[in-house]
């Protein structure tokens, strides 16, 4: 029973996953930053690196792995939303990303 004392309280994994998923979905704010003067690709790399650094500072290995996966799924969902509502030829790919993300 000593192993049970080290377990996280029930529901904490769900809260962690939801919070980091929403952190990943915050990629939807990236177009606002590009209007402020950042280039699209130039702003995306520091954004992803900053998210990873933040999660690495906040969580330690078993919870970090859960957080990085949920954040990545939120990031993919957010990118799918951005692509699906864009005026480019990639908008069908955005709908595909959103649909596949829900299946996973």
Domain locations in the chain as residue ranges: 13-103
Nearest alpha-carbon partner for 20 in 67, 58, 90, 57: 67
Q: Hey, what's the torsion of the CAs at 12, 16, 21, 26, to 10 degrees?
A: 130
Contact (CB, 8 A) for 24 and 77: yes
- Residue 6: the pLDDT is 55
Q: How high is the pLDDT of residue 95?
A: 67
Residue 53 has pLDDT above 90, yes or no: yes
- 11-51 pLDDT, tens per residue? 789 999 999 999 999 888 887 766 655 565 667 788 889 99
């Amino acid at each position: 029973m000593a192993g049970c004392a080290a377990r996280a309280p029930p529901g904490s994994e769900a809260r962690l996953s939801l919070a980091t998923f929403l952190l990943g979905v915050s990629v939807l704010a990236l177009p606002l930053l590009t209007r402020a003067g950042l280039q699209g690709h130039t702003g995306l790399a520091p954004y992803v690196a900053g998210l990873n650094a933040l999660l690495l500072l906040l969580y330690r290995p078993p919870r970090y792995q859960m957080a990085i996966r949920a954040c990545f799924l939120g990031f993919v969902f957010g990118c799918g939303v951005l692509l699906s509502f864009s005026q480019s030829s990639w908008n069908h790919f955005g709908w595909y990303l959103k649909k596949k993300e829900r299946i996973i």
